[in-house]
């Protein structure tokens, strides 16, 4: 009789692991609480799914996992981004590589990734039921199976927990895996938001809500140590509460122990120009608009929505004629365009985070097999484990690598 395995959660990790186990001939039962599988994967990469990152060196992968990256050495070495790429291309999903080695389906549709994972699991003969696992069945210290919310029981030789983290709970990931792990005696590092938008002090964020800035550079300063903790170039967004967008989400994972005013973000709205070049550019614009009011002379330089905010911050009267703007006033304008400051007050809640930092402690999981060190036959894969990575496709790669590692070890 073939070994029976229960996989809890049909997300990125659960679908991958169940398919691999099914292909090996195991009797696999996949339990998912939602009607549809992989709801979170459907919304990844703004619906385009940044499925992995095309780095070829294992140390480059680990460098993008700031929390417990070394723990993943074994899992990554057995299933690298090139394996993820081969997997999806073999499943009939052509992929492309974009800026920063980010890999997406050529179709730009996350649903193609979900369909491939779903087909992989289904074609391998994996049985499925809809239900929410609420308990592990442990008898005399031995893992026997799982109990569902409706009281039904399912028995197996091994259980793989792939229930994801706690962010975006509407997708089904509500942190149930942490409770199951605790039941087996595991320590769970407190789940916190990571890759998350930021609440900010400045009221002008509200005035600018909806404004997306492409091609800006941000520098994040720790005001306790006066050290820069992050600098990058890209896209950000103003919202009613503060700031969001790819640059900000990445910046947030470099902020530790966030307290009001501990971090400042300095936005360079014109990173391609030095202070001198920008001043010259403004002088040229002003020459062409010599008789206009100051507030009407900045449209060629800036998005319309941000002009009143910048004018207010310079302290120059909006009705000042451009030919009356002094060198000192211009210097003030240049300084603000090169260094627009927003003060971080707090992270947005975990529900709005892209990933959960924290989870089942890596000290209690065997890194070679993903098996629990507390309870034999119990395995973990994906975001439920206390590892988290930067944006760029690394988090899905973690889900796939740990899933393959667990499936090949069971
Ligand atoms: C908006 C957004 C965008 C993202 N974009 C990217 C991206 O482009 N690239 C990237 O690499 N990462 C991205 N991520 C992160 C990535 O989606 C996750 O890290 C990844 O999905 C984790 O995979 P997982 O299998 O561990 O968990 P999940 O994919 O969350 O799957 C967990 C599954 O378990 C089920 N489940 C939970 N509890 C139970 C229970 N008790 N019983 C039964 N079933 C249960 C859930 O319903 C769910 O289907 C994004 C995340 C978000 C929120």
Predicted confidence at residue 290, as pLDDT, reads: 86
Proportion of the chain above pLDDT 90, given as a percent = 97
User: What is the best residue among 9, 32, 35, 393 to mutate for testing ligand 1's pocket, by most ligand atoms within 8 Å of CB?
Assistant: 9
Contact between 265 and 219 (Cβ < 8 Å): yes
3-state secondary structure at position 265: strand
Q: What is the pLDDT of residues 272-294, one digit of tens each?
A: 999 999 999 999 999 998 889 99
For 40-61, the pLDDT digits (tens) are: 999 999 999 999 999 999 999 9
Tens of pLDDT, residues 330-362 = 999 999 999 999 999 999 999 999 999 999 999
Q: Is the CB of 293 under 6 A from ligand 1?
A: no
CATH number given to 4-192+357-409: 3.50.50.60
Is the pLDDT at 314 greater than 70? The verdict is yes
Domain boundaries, the chain: 4-192+357-409, 197-347
What is the percent of the chain where pLDDT is above 70? 100
Distance 237 CA to ligand 1 centre (A): 24
pLDDT value, residue 387: 95
Q: Would the pLDDT of 27 be above 80?
A: yes
Report the atom number in ligand 1 closest to the C-alpha of 353: 53
Q: Is 410 in the pocket of ligand 1 (CB under 6 A)?
A: no
Burial class (CB in 10 A: 0-12, 13-18, 19+), 224: exposed
d(CA 387, CA 68): 5
Q: Whose CA is nearest to atom 8 of ligand 1?
A: 45
d(CA 104, CA 90): 15
Contact residues for 20 (Cβ-Cβ < 8 A; gap 6+): 124, 403, 404, 407, 408
Distance CA 345, CA 362 (A): 31
For residue range 75-118, list pLDDT tens digits in order: 999 999 999 999 999 999 999 999 899 999 999 999 999 999 99
Q: What is the pLDDT of residues 209-248, one digit of tens each?
A: 999 999 999 999 999 999 999 999 999 999 999 999 999 9
Q: Is 44's C-beta closer than 6 angstroms to any atom of ligand 1? A: yes
pTM listed for this prediction: 0.93
Q: What per-residue confidence (pLDDT) applies to 1?
A: 65
Among left, alpha and beta (phi > 0; psi -120 to 50; other), residue 327 is: alpha
> Whole-angstrom Cα distance, residue 254 to residue 244?
15
pLDDT at 2: 81
In the predicted structure, residue 22 carries a pLDDT above the cut 80: yes
CB of 167 shorter than 6 A to ligand 1: yes
CA of 394 from ligand 1 middle (Å) equals: 13
Determine if ligand 1 sits within 6 Å of the CB of residue 45.
Answer: yes
Query: What's the 314 CA to ligand 1 centre distance in angstroms?
Result: 45
| CATH number for domain 197-347, candidates 1.10.8.50, 3.40.630.30, 2.40.340.10, 2.40.50.140 | 1.10.8.50
Average pLDDT of the chain, as a whole number: 97
- 34: Cβ below 6 Å to ligand 1? yes
Give the pLDDT score at 332.
Answer: 97
């Amino acid at each position: 009789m073939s070994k029976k395995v229960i996989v809890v959660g049909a997300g990125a990790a659960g679908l991958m692991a169940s398919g691999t186990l099914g292909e090996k001939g195991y009797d696999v039962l996949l339990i998912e609480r939602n009607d549809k599988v992989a709801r979170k994967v459907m919304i990844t990469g703004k619906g385009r799914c940044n499925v992995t990152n095309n780095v070829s060196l294992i140390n480059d992968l680990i460098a993008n996992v700031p929390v417990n990256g070394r723990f993943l050495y074994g899992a990554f070495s057995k299933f690298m981004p090139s394996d993820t790429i081969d997997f999806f291309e073999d499943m009939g999903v052509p992929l492309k590589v974009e800026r920063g080695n980010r890999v997406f389906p050529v179709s730009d549709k996350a649903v193609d990734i979900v369909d491939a994972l779903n087909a992989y699991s289904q074609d391998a003969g994996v049985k499925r039921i809809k239900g929410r696992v609420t308990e592990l069945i442990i008898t005399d210290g031995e893992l026997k199976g799982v109990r569902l919310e409706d009281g039904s029981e399912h028995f197996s030789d091994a259980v793989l927990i792939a229930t994801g983290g706690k962010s975006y709970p509407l997708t089904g990931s509500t942190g149930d895996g942490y409770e199951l792990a605790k039941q087996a005696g595991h320590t769970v590092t407190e789940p916190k938001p990571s890759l998350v938008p930021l609440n900010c002090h400045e009221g002008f964020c509200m005035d600018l809500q909806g404004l997306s800035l492409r091609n800006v550079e941000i520098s994040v300063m720790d005001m306790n140590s006066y050290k820069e903790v992050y600098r990058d170039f890209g896209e950000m967004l103003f919202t009613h509460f503060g700031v969001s967008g790819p640059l900000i989400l990445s910046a947030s994972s470099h902020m530790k122990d966030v307290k009001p005013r501990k971090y400042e973000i300095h936005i360079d709205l014109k990173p391609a120009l030095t202070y001198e070049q920008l001043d010259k550019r403004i002088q040229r614009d002003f020459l062409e608009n010599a008789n206009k009011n100051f507030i009407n002379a900045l449209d060629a330089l800036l998005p319309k929505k941000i002009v009143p905010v910048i004018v207010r911050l310079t302290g120059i009267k909006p009705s000042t004629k451009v030919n009356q703007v002094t060198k000192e006033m211009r210097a003030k304008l240049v300084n603000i365009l090169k260094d627009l400051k927003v003060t971080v007050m707090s992270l947005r809640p975990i529900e709005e985070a892209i990933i959960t930092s924290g989870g089942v402690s890596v000290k209690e999981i065997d890194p070679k097999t993903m098996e629990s060190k507390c309870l034999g036959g119990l395995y973990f894969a994906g975001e439920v484990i206390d590892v988290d990575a930067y944006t760029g496709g690394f988090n899905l790669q973690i889900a796939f690598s740990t899933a393959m590692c667990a499936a090949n070890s069971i």
